[in-house]
Structure 1
Amino acid sequence: MSNINPNQVTPACPVISSEQIPLTVEPTTIISQAAVPTFKVPVVLVEPTLQIVVEANIPLNPPATEIKRVVKNVFLNQVKLVPVAFTRIGTTDFFNVTRAKLFVGGFIRKNIEYASAACSGALQDTIADVPFTGFADITRLDKNFFQNLVKYNEQPFGELVAANFYELDFSPVIATPEGTFSSLTEKIVLDLTVKVLQTQQLLITATQQIAIPPAGTVGCEE
């Protein structure tokens, strides 16, 4: 009489496996002690939202009959903070900046997809870079102090945080329903949020935590 189970399924491609041995888990002892480390880190000076208004005339070749889609992005070429008013820090040569001019420059990249007058023609694609420049008067650098020293100065730098677009696109000439237009006029309002930072050396009160391995580990005292 056979002991083989007729319902038993035999693997078509068996592999070698082994049962894993359970590992023990013990908490690691942590000791804490006061520490006053010195860090050199980027510090946020100010985080304003700037409103930028630009108008651009974008040529379309071949001419368009209908705009299908417009994808937008923003790129920053410069974020420069120029101090114009100071307060001396004690009797040192360092100064806190109380007012500054923030210069920004960059461009709005627009990817325009449109249909031409050709019957069953492929969608056309045009990429246009719309430049912008400007400055803003910054009178509240209250997120953190901005140190300025003529002898040596860590230059502030910028990061792009967010961009909101409000725009109106239209043909500069009136086109019939089946007519074409060879340029697109755009009036753009851009709300641009930037973060201005400066690398500073800071003394910070902290708690140092040290992990103590179990007795018997190499390097530990018995």
Structure 2
Amino acid sequence: MNCSGKQNQNLPVPCPVTAQEQIPLTNLGTTVTAGAAVTRIKVPVVLAEPTLQIVVESNITLPSAATEIKRVKKNVFLTQVKLIPVAFARIDGTDFFNVTRAKLFVAGNIRKNIEYASNACNGALQDRIANVPFSGFTDLVGPSLINAPIVGISESAEANFLNDTTNLDARLDKYFFQNLVKYNEQPYGELVAANFFELDFSPNMAGPQRPFNTLREKIVLDLTVKVLQVQQLAVAATAVVPALPGLTPPVSPPPTTL
């Protein structure tokens, strides 16, 4: 048998790839100096971080007949994370309230990319993209509220007047109105994690190499979301600024007098 290198001559040649070596850069720490004291900041505060269990079932019609499911990729897209306060406790000495109980409404869809094979001997893989909607709510109270949302309630007042001449009846053409409108920071949500447990199958069991066009899915989704609200906090901190040489002249000491 001739084991020469002639067989290797028919192998495909890999495509060349252009590469460029990167120049290493120095990495030095930046010196900072203390600035003025900071006593108040406004930052997002975590109100809750629940893990919600969502259970959905749906039928997905495939555009062409399948004989085998190869892979299913999933992602979550949220369209709604809304916090609705239902119980309040007044903050002493103010007309603002801490929310002690709230309903959290969540809605979105599970985007599925289903890859499947046909009954062709050497056919290409097919795919079907489907959006499975879900929605629901949960109760946030007690330990599930990590920090209380803060809500300011708007108020209206009205004053009426007597008849200037008789002082015996009301004037219907004269009123005093007062309206106090408080504009609150809207709580909002962030998607943290999605854990899928899923069973996909044909409603009518198909034998080997037998085609089917409908896929029934049962999904249990553990969805973790973070609910936040921008709040004003009192802190004990010090601002720091970078001390970059050469940008500003050094401060000269005051001259001494004789």
Q: Would you say same fold, with TM above 0.5?
A: yes
5+ long unaligned stretches in structure 2: 1-27, 154-181, 254-258
**Equivalent residue number for residue 76 of structure 2:** 74
For residues 140 and 219 of structure 2, the distance between their equivalents in structure 1, rounded to whole angstroms, comes to 23
For residues 210 and 178 of structure 1, the distance between their equivalents in structure 2, rounded to whole angstroms, comes to 69
Root mean square deviation of aligned Cα? 2.4
Q: Does 1:134 align with 2:165?
A: no
Q: Does 1:146 align with 2:177?
A: no
- Contact persistence 1:64–1:116 (CA under 8 A): yes
Matches within 5 A, 1:106-145: 106-140=108-142, 142-145=145-148
Give the deviation of 1:144 after TM superposition.
Answer: 2.0
Q: Does 1:176 align with 2:175?
A: no
Cα distance, 1:139–1:109 mapped onto 2, change above 3 Å: same
Matches within 5 A, 1:1-222: 32=34, 35-140=37-142, 142-150=145-153, 151-209=182-240, 218-222=249-253
For residues 244 and 191 of structure 2, the distance between their equivalents in structure 1, rounded to whole angstroms, comes to 44
Q: Which stretch shifts more, 149-158 or 69-78?
A: 149-158
Give the deviation of 1:32 after TM superposition.
Answer: 4.4
5+ long unaligned stretches in structure 1: 1-24
Per-residue displacement from partner, 1:6-64 (whole Å, max 9, x unpaired)?
Answer: xxxxxxxxxxxxxxxxxxx9x96x66477234222111101010000000111111011
For residues 53 and 152 of structure 2, the distance between their equivalents in structure 1, rounded to whole angstroms, comes to 31
Cα distance, 1:130–1:31 mapped onto 2, change above 3 Å: closer
* Structure 1 segments (4+ residues) deviating >6 Å: 211-215
Give the deviation of 1:187 after TM superposition.
Answer: 0.4
Q: Percent identity?
A: 65
Query: TM-score scaled to structure 1, two decimals?
Result: 0.80
For residues 48 and 219 of structure 2, the distance between their equivalents in structure 1, rounded to whole angstroms, comes to 25
For residues 240 and 76 of structure 2, the distance between their equivalents in structure 1, rounded to whole angstroms, comes to 43
Query: TM-score scaled to structure 2, two decimals?
Result: 0.70
For residues 33 and 184 of structure 2, the distance between their equivalents in structure 1, rounded to whole angstroms, comes to 39
Q: Which amino acid aligns with 2:74?
A: K
Q: Which amino acid aligns with 1:201?
A: Q
Give the deviation of 1:214 after TM superposition.
Answer: 7.8
For residues 212 and 244 of structure 2, the distance between their equivalents in structure 1, rounded to whole angstroms, comes to 75
